[in-house]
Amino acid sequence: MNYIITGGTGFIGTHLANLLHECHPEAAIWNLDIVDPAKLEGMVEQERRAYTTIKNWKSPLRDGGERKSHFVYCDVRKPIEELPFIPTEKDVIFNLAAVHRTPGHPDRAYFETNIRGAENVCAFAEKWGIKNIVFTSSIAPYGASEELKEETTLPMPNTPYGISKLVAEKIHEAWQRRGGEGRKLTIVRPGVVFGKGENGNFTRLYYGIRNHTFAYPGRRDTIKACVYVKELVRFMLWNVEERGSMHAIYNCTFEPAFTISEIVRTMKEVTGLSSPIPYIPNSIIIPAAFVVKCIGSPMGICPARVRKLQVATNICGKRMADSGYTFKYTFKEALEDWFNDNDKKGLQ
């Protein structure tokens, strides 16, 4: 059988391929992506920026590690054809391909990749009779608000990214319904995903603390639902192999979710940082973010990102916790594992 990962060059896809190879070393793992990881890992930063929109890219692999998937150039915005392998009904598709960083892309990019991609992946599965899809959605379809979000909460996305992901979910659900009880669909809505190669919020937080450039922006009690990348991919594979129902949606986050102050405290404890964290009220930080934006936004600082930091991602992970899946890592253990993956030199 084949494991097919669309968008497999990225952070989650690389960790997923590692897990699949570990659990099923005999299986073929195919990475369908527009970014060739062999080229990406051999480029300097200036070359990478000309090749892809990813900025300040860090490899998800440990030093000396090798990719566990076979790269196939594939643009999911177009019909999926001419593959170097023959798909079978027993194959599994992990649909990770997406434009996701927000803000950062034109509105059209989210809809074109995330919606057209969902249509083409489902059409590919239909053509070859593939009956098992895992789709990585997002918590963005819930919209930005302080209320607790469960899987039954009415989605009210307020960004192009969130809207495109909700539509993509519906496209996958329509595919599942057309096959009756013969098709299995798992939709995961991860919180902030952290781990080796994330190139995102947790890495910026760590280096902000370490370099004395982080302060609590306007509040200390902001809830930031999160999940370790190795836990997320383990849960995705568990759904493929163990879950009995044919359709399920899961928020993927530690339960209960942690506040930013709890995250900072644990991160400092694990990595040995000890500097105090100042608090900056909004009356100061928002005008300062405008100034920083004008000089080029070092570390990605801008008013929109500061406001995003202040909005709670209050996501309920109880359904995941009660699913029958057994977590491998506590939050502290996850950070320790990530720190070890970087030879205890940092979190990146």
Of 130-139, 247-256, 302-311, which gets the smallest average pLDDT? 302-311
- E strand residue ranges, the chain: 2-6, 28-33, 70-73, 92-95, 132-136, 184-190, 192-194, 216-217, 223-224, 226-228, 247-252, 258-259, 279-280
Instruction: State percent of the chain over pLDDT 70.
Output: 90
Which residues make beta-bridge pairs with 313? 224
Once rounded to an integer, what is the mean pLDDT over residues 153-161? Answer: 95
pLDDT of residue 293: 65
Once rounded to an integer, what is the mean pLDDT over residues 73-85? Answer: 96
Once rounded to an integer, what is the mean pLDDT over residues 173-194? Answer: 95
Compute the radius of gyration of the chain from its Cα atoms: 20
* Interior angle at CA 165, CA 159 and CA 167, nearest 5: 105
Residue 290 has pLDDT above 80, yes or no: no
- Binned at pLDDT 50, 70 and 90, residue 283 comes out as confident
